[in-house]
Amino acid sequence: MADGGGSNASTNRAWKQRIYKQLAQRHGLTVTVAHYPPGTSKWNPIEHRLFSEVSKNWAGQPLDSYDTILNHIRTTKTQTGLEVRAHLVNRHYDTGIKIADAEMRALPITWHDSLPKWNYSLSPGPN
């Protein structure tokens, strides 16, 4: 399940290419992706189960450092058993990556019959 916008949007070519290379191809998996349509992320279970609890734990305190942010996330717990682990990945992530039409056509992607714009699978394939 993925949101419908941002870096993992259903229209993002780099997202599909990375899912293919870093999951499907690397681990020999078929990865099925189902995007929430734009504007519907409020129904995403992680929004309710995780982010709401982190927000309650944070309780509007200033987020003035990475340590403060990580502490609020790491100390989030619920009576039903949610415990959160978090770490900072301190690296630069390139933006504006362009995936050529030919590279997109080469992806072993299967569009689902139901809502193909948002639902597809990427197989390990030979690429």
pLDDT digits (tens, 9 = 90+) for 3-45: 777 778 888 999 999 999 999 999 999 999 998 877 776 667 7
Q: Using one digit for the tens of pLDDT, what is the confidence trace for 55-75?
A: 898 988 899 999 999 999 999
Confidence grade of residue 113 (pLDDT, cut at 50, 70, 90): very high
DSSP 1-52: -B-SSGGG-TT-HHHHHHHIIIIIIHHT--EEEEBPPTT-GGG-HHIIIIIH
Q: What is the mean predicted confidence (pLDDT) over 74-99?
A: 91
Question: Tokens standing for 103?
Answer: 């590279």
Confidence grade of residue 50 (pLDDT, cut at 50, 70, 90): confident
Residue 41 CB neighbours (<10 A): 17
Task: Give me the half-sphere count of Cα atoms (radius 13 Å) on the Cβ side of residue 81.
Answer: 0
| pTM of the predicted protein model | 0.70
